[in-house]
Structure 1
Amino acid sequence: MMKRFTVCAMAVLLGLSAVAQSVAPAFALPDINGATHSLSHYIGKIVVLEWTNYDCPFVRKFYETGTMQAMQEEYTAKNVVWLSICSSAPGKQGNLSLDEWKLRVKANGSKATAVLLDESGRVGHAYRASNTPHIFVVDKDGNLAYQGSVDDQRTADPKTAGKGRNYLDEALYALLAGNPVPTPMTKPYGCSVKY
């Protein structure tokens, strides 16, 4: 029985290690100002991919409390690239016109490097982004180092923002220090991506 448990535990750890070492899918997407951002342009930098939908209460939890913007500001100041991505399809919640996007980004005080639009859902599907927010961290070599939730507070209650264990913060802190990410994968939570 113990031997079987050990073998299963090793398989899980090897699976997590494989996730951490998988190459991040390449993409090129326009931002809300019309510039195109390609993941390949950021080789040599740590990149955060934050799937977002400003109308999702789980996303609002982080933005209305300033928690997401504080992380964006802290890590972009450390040369981390932060790309917020919206994969909401036309006519679905979270899909906005360019003018609406510009107003909402300004109103939210986003400190992301750029907000990218993925209306076709092609990039979201390539990453298997399932929730908003769903976070992916790409290391300097272009490998996925972390994917999952921002934290362990699986609720939309704003009182929980900035509380508990912050997996994203842990991942970025480790990578900036040249260390392996302690928890390379967690289960994301939030609204479903509106493909």
Structure 2
Amino acid sequence: MLLETKTCDFDWPAPEFDLATPAGVRHSRDGVIGEKGMLVAFICNHCPYVVAVIDRLAEDMNALEAMGIGCVCIMSNDYRDYPADAPEKMTVFAQTHGLQAPYLVDENQSVGRAYGAVCTPDFFGFDADGGLQYRGRLDDVGMRGDAGARVPELVNAMRQIAETGQGPRDQTPSMGCSIKWS
């Protein structure tokens, strides 16, 4: 089911999380947030919307990390019903696409629910104090556009947040497949 993210609830505080990668390495909200902010991306392996943007997302996350913005990906889908999203496949997916940010398993889906994630991909951009400043899309390309001339809306917004503490007031919602709740 195709969904769009909700509008940005500016300054909403980032919920805490303590999740592990498929290899068991734990990451928390306070350990991920960087000096200039934090990006939390809800993704999965099988969603065609994620598959279409994952290489650009991995590249953009590397750029954000270089700016002092901590990045993390969280997989909240019920992988028992959607085995393509199983933890062992998450590792292969991340390696295949050069995803260097931690890719965490939300085993009981509590983090996805706490954040109000609705689809994959769903992006939450926070300022250095953990206040929400961005709830938009990755870029203006979508699934089938020409990425050569793209406007990197997420990177631009996070750069603005890093510099001013405030996100852009005009944000285009992300769209994708619904989170697969158990």
- Residue type at the aligned position of 2:166: P
Q: Which residue of 1 aligns with 2:4?
A: none
Pair 1:74 & 2:63 matched: yes
- Residue type at the aligned position of 2:25: A
List aligned pairs for 1:4-153, cutoff 5 A. Answer: 19-42=9-32, 45=35, 46-63=37-54, 66-93=55-82, 94-98=84-88, 100-112=89-101, 114-153=102-141
TM-score by length of 2: 0.83
Shift of 1:52: 0.5
SS at structure 2 position matched to 1:73: helix
Distance 1:133 1:192 in 2: 9
Contact conserved, 2:33 with 2:70, CA < 8 A, in 1?
A: no
Contact conserved, 2:34 with 2:69, CA < 8 A, in 1?
A: no
Distance 2:33 2:62 in 1: 21
Q: Specify which structure has the bigger relative contact order, considering alpha-carbon pairs within 8 angstroms and separated by 6 or more residues.
A: 2
Provide, for residues 23-74 of structure 1, a one-character-per-residue CA deviation record: whole Å limited to 9, x for no partner: 11122111222122111234563111011112111111112xx311210111
Contact conserved, 1:170 with 1:181, CA < 8 A, in 2?
A: no
Q: What count of residue pairs does the alignment treat as equivalent?
A: 173
Answer 1 or 2: which has greater helix percent. 1
Q: Which residue of 2 aligns with 1:12?
A: none
Provide, for residues 7-33 of structure 1, a one-character-per-residue CA deviation record: whole Å limited to 9, x for no partner: xxxxxxxxx78x211111122111222
Cα 1:170/1:88, change in 2 over 3 Å: same
Work out which of the residue numbers 159, 162, 179 in structure 2 matches 1:176: 162
TM-score by length of 1: 0.78
SS at structure 2 position matched to 1:85: strand
- Residue type at the aligned position of 1:122: S
Shift of 1:165: 4.0
**Identity over aligned pairs, percent:** 27
SS at structure 1 position matched to 2:73: strand
